[in-house]
Amino acid sequence: MSRRRQIYEGKAKILYEGPEPGTIIQYFKDDATAFNAEKKGTINGKGVINNRISEHIFTLLGHIGIPSHFIRRLNMREQLVKQVEIVPIEVIVRNVAAGSLSKRLGIEEGTPLPHTLLEYCYKDDALGDPLVAEEHIACFGWATQEEMQDISAMAIRINDFMAGMFAGIGIKLVDFKLEFGRLFDGDFSRIILADEISPDGCRLWDIETNEKLDKDRFRRDLGGEAEAYQEVARRMGLFPEDGISEVLDLDSERKKRGK
Ligand code: UDP
């Protein structure tokens, strides 16, 4: 890994220069942060699981015509993606009230929303990713109106697909965060899905018990976060039956050997 040029280190991922121009390698770390990085920790094996979950979801979304930056998974912790210019907006898709929405508007967590709600936050750590309206996005030129139409249409399709997929494995998709990027072709660019989709950026509750199977276990000190991520991957059928611990053992072996 040290041979490659590091482009950026984020909270949960490191980006390296890819093997060909226009490509990037995303390395998934075990590091976890919450509350704008005020709380820091690690979730054992998270990087391996998120790499696999995100690969799976992006691949399926590709099959239903959602373009994304995903090219292929390279190994346990890395995937090759297309280089894009990230739109500085986090798109939050909500089906059930939770988190900041519940706090802001006093709506009890778990209340189903009458219809899917899209929210936008301006990506700026120093400002704490503030909630913004589409008018702010247009006013400050963060994305054009045309780009926002593509983004919102894709977000709704992604939600419909993911809500169904998770319901099929006994998981309620409460809310999640998406990021999009501009893929340039000469002077033109088009919007594609970027970043990752994993339990780091989704609220996933067991359909029967409402048990949390996502990063809220870490944010709220509930414990069992590594097991929750594994449970999601297991229900998605992403690792051979009972094989997750073997894969994670192999990963920690390799890490110890500094590979
Ligand atoms: N989210 C995220 N990154 C952020 C903010 C939110 O991935 O910087 C995800 C979060 O995991 C949840 C959804 O977006 O699934 C909605 O989060 P919310 O606005 O409720 O904020 P939170 O309560 O997580 O601070």
The DSSP secondary-structure symbol of 146 reads H
Ligand 1: atom nearest CA of 214 is 11
Confidence of residue 167 (pLDDT cuts 50, 70, 90): very high
Is ligand 1 within 6 A of the CB of residue 131? no
Q: Is 129 in the pocket of ligand 1 (CB under 6 A)?
A: yes
**pLDDT tens, 43-56?**
999 999 999 999 99
Please, is 100 exposed, middle or buried when counting C-beta atoms within 10 Å of its C-beta (0-12, 13-18, 19+)?
middle
Q: Among 61-65, 195-199, 255-259, which is the least confidently predicted range?
A: 255-259
Instruction: State pTM to two decimals.
Output: 0.96
User: pLDDT tens digits, residue range 122-158?
Assistant: 999 999 999 999 999 999 999 999 999 999 999 999 9
List the beta bridge partners of residue 14. Answer: 9, 27
Q: Residue 159 is which amino acid?
A: N
pLDDT tens digit sequence for 36-94:
999 999 999 999 999 999 999 999 999 999 999 999 999 999 999 999 999 999 999 99
Q: How do residues 199-208 score in pLDDT, each as one tens digit?
A: 999 999 999 9
Residue minimizing CA distance to atom 3 of ligand 1: 201
Q: Is 99 in the pocket of ligand 1 (CB under 6 A)?
A: yes
107 lines ligand 1 (CB under 6 A): no
- Mean local confidence (pLDDT), 85-112: 98
Q: Which residues of 107-145 are buried (b: 16+ CB within 10 A; e: fewer)?
A: eebeeeeeeeebbbbbeeeeeebeebeeeebeeeebbee
CA 154 to chain centre: 15
- Whether 3 shows a pLDDT value over 70: the answer reads yes
pLDDT tens for each residue of 176-185: 999 999 999 9
Residue 259's pLDDT band, with cuts at 50, 70 and 90, is low
Mean pLDDT of the chain: 96
Distance from C-alpha of 193 to C-alpha of 21, rounded to nearest angstrom:
19
pLDDT at 63: 98
